[in-house]
Amino acid sequence: MADRPGTVRPGPDGRLRCPWAMSSPEYLGYHDQEWGRPVRTDQGIFERLSLEGFQAGLSWLTILRKRGNFRAAFRGFELTAVAGFGHQDVDRLLADAGIIRNRAKIEATINNARAALAIPGGLAAVVWGYAGNPGQPGGPARVDGCIPGPGQGTARPWLPVHRPGYGLCHVPGVRSGG
């Protein structure tokens, strides 16, 4: 019998988890240590946005397995470092077999770092200014202990960065809503 979306079930240690978390050790670790936990820093949000962009057309598991390589290649997703990348860095990244080697995604990541640095108050302030609080009116709803998946109610936080003056580039593959 297939799991009903939002249904939790016991994992190997008896702890209740979302069913998708049981399909690999990487997913299990991601679920237990990161899923549903707030990311409050510009660097952390920039990393998640960048990885979501690289994930387009691939599974999140592929990205989780390459995340250490991405962090090394993109200098820990430190905004100033990535914003300073030039043509030689693009060539270096295109030659790095440890990451997804897609020129458009690499260039979007670099451009997004530059744009994020130009956002008054920072990227995190923009995102959290629109995200609401889980469990509060207007925040993400929980269904049987699981937070809804990607694409459910994600359009609103990204609208302000598309206004004139912000310049944040489209991150390929990041959904803008349901």
Q: Where are the chain's structural domains?
A: 42-162
Cα-based torsion angle of the residue sequence 32, 174, 89, 117 in order, rounded to the nearest 10 degrees: -90
**pLDDT, average across residues 113-134:** 85
**pLDDT, average across residues 65-74:** 98
Q: How far apart are the first and last CA of the chain?
A: 26
Catalytic (active-site) positions: 30, 52, 60
Q: What burial letters (b/e) apply to 34-43, b meaning 16+ CB within 10 Å? A: eeeeebeebb
User: Is a pLDDT exceeding 80 seen at residue 77?
Assistant: yes
Cβ-contact 124, 157 below 8 angstroms: no
pTM of the model: 0.75
Question: CA angle 15-22-101, nearest 5°?
Answer: 135
Confidence at 4, pLDDT banded by 50, 70, 90: low
Rounded to an integer, what distance in angstroms lies between the CA atom of residue 126 and that of residue 145?
27
Q: 146: which strand partners?
A: 143
Task: Decide if domain 42-162 falls under CATH 1.10.340.30.
Answer: yes
